[in-house]
Structure 1
């Protein structure tokens, strides 16, 4: 797009001395009126202020792009201004932003989805490049400024990053391996382009390792960013490189800062005591290590749980739909085998896999064998999910101690790795599980299950509310996963009520984003509105991460609103004692609800999140209106 076509020299201000944002908006609006671009200054100024109340129009590196859409605008135009002294209190995405370059856009309402987006895209793309921005700031006259508007290719480095630019590599991994893993990778890549770096990110997600880093890329890299909430694979590759470790959500907020930190980070030393392919992260507290290990274990059992649950659902659906209950119950038939396969994945495999990968997170590959043994022992003595979790942690730390204290080299290293480690650790774990902690774990598990089964009235309401708030607190993060682990553990013991509440609540945040952004567009920017159009679909699939973009922009108001509606939803579903024995089915869970007839169960299970959505949406809009009024007053 040729920007000079929608402005002129009379709409260019050079080295202005605005003291406040309000003064800048008023002066630039008056220029639009003088040039015949708008009919009413007051109407357009109100449109500008309304837009300012929705979200920040200041960005970073001194840039602000206020914009108003109104019927009073005769034709699309913009006013540009360079400032002699920056405006320091312009509300911006970067809190440290001091505005010295302003582009004020005036767009007719009829062109809000065409010209508006086209101009914004053209400006934002060009202004991310420092050379282009500096050339505009250096212009001494409106004529020179106009000449430079459309010379981004001559005046700045080419948009594609040079193949000779320094390389930054990264690894992203989250517990579910779905949303955060890929969103964080994209944020790092975009930040690298803006800073002039090539960025290559390996995603360790739900589909395994995608876009793996090559040895040559790691060797060439100036620094490495590891954004993770679970243990990542093959960290030994990073020895000797500058490495910064952070949470998987951090790049969504501060990707540029992470790149700068990585370039100044110390060299990663790895774990010299291990001969395995994967190494221990450094400088990690025990609590962080335990939390990461549990999240890693959960991330590995999620696909097993979903697959097992859907196999059971498939067999049950066929049996009920085609009146094949006898085949379903007859040993050796296809339906019975599918039922047994699904049940085996949930009842036999789930806990050993949990224990194995918790231990794997702590002690790498040697931890797998005692971890599996701990999980299997838990299944044999009926300590359930809790036993697998505790046993996996014991196996991991036992193997970590053995690796640090039982070392050898040469011909004996293979004997230690393939005999001493697995055999000795499995024997020790078996003794501990069967003779030491087995009975306390059985007592704890039975007490927990029995206590929950005896809950009624207000206690059920409270449990449902707590589960609901945990689901929406961090939208797929550690708190959400803790609620998931709790509900799945109880499901394995035959208590299906908590998971029904969990699955129902997952729709609240997604539905709220769609309802708020579609029905109350005034309080949300274009990006948020676009996100809202499809978030409800993710909610039907049981995916909460779709609400993350809205949460990141305004966490206190958004999360606060989600929590209230989610608590109400969880409390309602639990109070009616609706059960759900099939995990991961999303909206299709309606067909597998227990504790009520089909229509009654569907009305409660689906009606509760709709009510929760109404509550959360009302609260969110009320908080947005309050903020809007404060901004208008200021």
Structure 2
């Protein structure tokens, strides 16, 4: 068969390319031809052409964010999570061999499915709420990264120590760079909201989503000193998306249809979102955000330890999956709220699973296969640049031993980082963020990472059986 595939994950970094590689290897092993389009953070690569689609026997979409399927009308299309693309590539391809994949755009009654097939298909498809949220997050992250790096660099290079901490002199070039970084942060919530709404209602949802996000972030619309923050942005995005989708579903005369997506839907959706947020939702959500920020800033001692343990465990649990992304989104949002200690703990936890497992393969080779030892070298490299997914090959083979080990290691590292005042100004982790001077208390940042990775390595080697 000639198959096509698209792989895409919310961050567009590791999962996207790991799934592409696994699908390509599986297809080759099973005697099929495959071309994989990756939709990563760098954009679309190896794009599928109309000729490719025309001659294809089927399409696999292994993605955790929205992918446009309109070009595949009339083709057999199998949708799965990007994790299934990594862990079950042979199973996905085998469905085409057994002729179990429905034709996209074909009525349900024309495609016979067993109850078990329906159950399997539903299980594979992720929650639309999660998928829509992650679509917004994937577009938001570059703005937070740029803003955080520019602010961190301006403070590190242009800052002058005073009794109030680092201060950048007015009129200096570094003050301008600081302002550019702050401007990048102001886009965070509107971008998050806009692309959540676009994921739900397609392009007509983008403008009302971004407008709703801007209103959510700007408390002056509803008489609040602080805006509704990322929580308000998420709610505004879903609100705008579902309102736009509802308006799209209203039957209209043919003469009006051409202006619906560019005028009618965005206009009325924007008005409804603005009214609901300004007069109903704005102030209550802003109050919640003020309480949350105040509570986090007031955390001391035991409460800080508990928070760090929870975040560390979540980051390691599914190595870039939904649980990891919830913790990551929380830390990213807190950067904009001025609480960079949260991201400091998360930045440590992010790199411990791959670094710890890579170290484990070096300390006790008898516990790992030749393939795992090679994966250990790759895991060390991925850990240095903050890619938690480097731990996936080990967890896939031995989840009951590997996952608890990496969770405990990340929890230990997070706690040490939190208690020692480690901060991170960008939503990323691993030693790479220290290179960009985005981290404060750098020695303790590395101490936290080293202790966490040693704990992981010793634990996994203690409970793993020799191969």
Same fold (TM over 0.5): yes
Tell me which residue corresponds to 1:620. Answer: 460
Tell me which residue corresponds to 1:265. Answer: 101
Matches within 5 A, 1:16-165: none
Query: Distance between the aligned counterparts of 1:385 and 1:329, measured in 2?
Result: 31
More helix by share: 2
Tell me which residue corresponds to 2:445. Answer: 605
Measured after TM superposition, the shift of residue 270 of structure 1 is 8.4
Length-normalised TM-score, structure 2: 0.89
Query: Distance between the aligned counterparts of 1:320 and 1:435, measured in 2?
Result: 42
Tell me which residue corresponds to 1:226. Answer: 61
Measured after TM superposition, the shift of residue 425 of structure 1 is 0.5
Query: Distance between the aligned counterparts of 1:572 and 1:472, measured in 2?
Result: 16
Query: Distance between the aligned counterparts of 1:443 and 1:171, measured in 2?
Result: 42
Which of 217, 240, 250 matches 1:395?
Answer: 240
- The answer as to 2:194 corresponding to 1:349 is no
Q: Which sections of structure 1, spanning at least 5 residues, go unmatched?
A: 1-165, 272-281, 595-600
Measured after TM superposition, the shift of residue 254 of structure 1 is 1.9
- The answer as to 2:229 corresponding to 1:420 is no
Matches within 5 A, 1:192-271: 192-232=27-67, 234-262=68-96, 263-269=99-105
Query: Distance between the aligned counterparts of 2:42 and 2:442, measured in 1?
Result: 32
Measured after TM superposition, the shift of residue 550 of structure 1 is 1.6
Render the CA deviation track for 1:295-328: whole Å, top value 9, x for unaligned.
Answer: 11111111221122222223223314999x9994
Render the CA deviation track for 1:122-152: whole Å, top value 9, x for unaligned.
Answer: xxxxxxxxxxxxxxxxxxxxxxxxxxxxxxx
Count of residue correspondences: 441
Measured after TM superposition, the shift of residue 578 of structure 1 is 3.1
Render the CA deviation track for 1:400-423: whole Å, top value 9, x for unaligned.
Answer: 1111224443x4222212111111
Describe the SS at the equivalent of 1:264. coil
Describe the SS at the equivalent of 1:437. helix
Length-normalised TM-score, structure 1: 0.66
Tell me which residue corresponds to 1:475. Answer: 319
Describe the SS at the equivalent of 1:497. helix
Q: Which sections of structure 2, spanning at least 5 residues, go unmatched?
A: 108-120, 220-226
Render the CA deviation track for 1:364-402: whole Å, top value 9, x for unaligned.
Answer: 111101110111011112011111111111111111111
Paired residues of 1:235 and 1:270 also in contact (CA < 8 A): no
Measured after TM superposition, the shift of residue 519 of structure 1 is 1.2
Paired residues of 2:308 and 2:415 also in contact (CA < 8 A): yes
Describe the SS at the equivalent of 1:249. helix
- The answer as to 2:216 corresponding to 1:378 is yes
- The answer as to 2:334 corresponding to 1:497 is no
Tell me which residue corresponds to 1:367. Answer: 205
Query: Distance between the aligned counterparts of 1:358 and 1:605, measured in 2?
Result: 34
Describe the SS at the equivalent of 2:11. coil
- The answer as to 2:11 corresponding to 1:176 is yes
Provide closer, same or farther for how the CA distance between residues 496 and 169 of structure 1 changes in structure 2, counting only shifts above 3 A.
Answer: same
Measured after TM superposition, the shift of residue 454 of structure 1 is 2.1
Paired residues of 2:317 and 2:403 also in contact (CA < 8 A): yes
Render the CA deviation track for 1:47-99: whole Å, top value 9, x for unaligned.
Answer: xxxxxxxxxxxxxxxxxxxxxxxxxxxxxxxxxxxxxxxxxxxxxxxxxxxxx
Which of 287, 301, 305 matches 2:140?
Answer: 301
Deviates further, 352-361 or 235-244 = 235-244
Paired residues of 2:81 and 2:125 also in contact (CA < 8 A): no
Provide closer, same or farther for how the CA distance between residues 326 and 391 of structure 1 changes in structure 2, counting only shifts above 3 A.
Answer: closer
Measured after TM superposition, the shift of residue 462 of structure 1 is 0.5
Which of 428, 433, 448 matches 1:584?
Answer: 428
Measured after TM superposition, the shift of residue 564 of structure 1 is 0.8
Paired residues of 2:386 and 2:432 also in contact (CA < 8 A): no
Paired residues of 2:14 and 2:387 also in contact (CA < 8 A): no
The higher relative CO (CA closer than 8 Å, separation ≥ 6) is in 2
Provide closer, same or farther for how the CA distance between residues 396 and 270 of structure 1 changes in structure 2, counting only shifts above 3 A.
Answer: farther
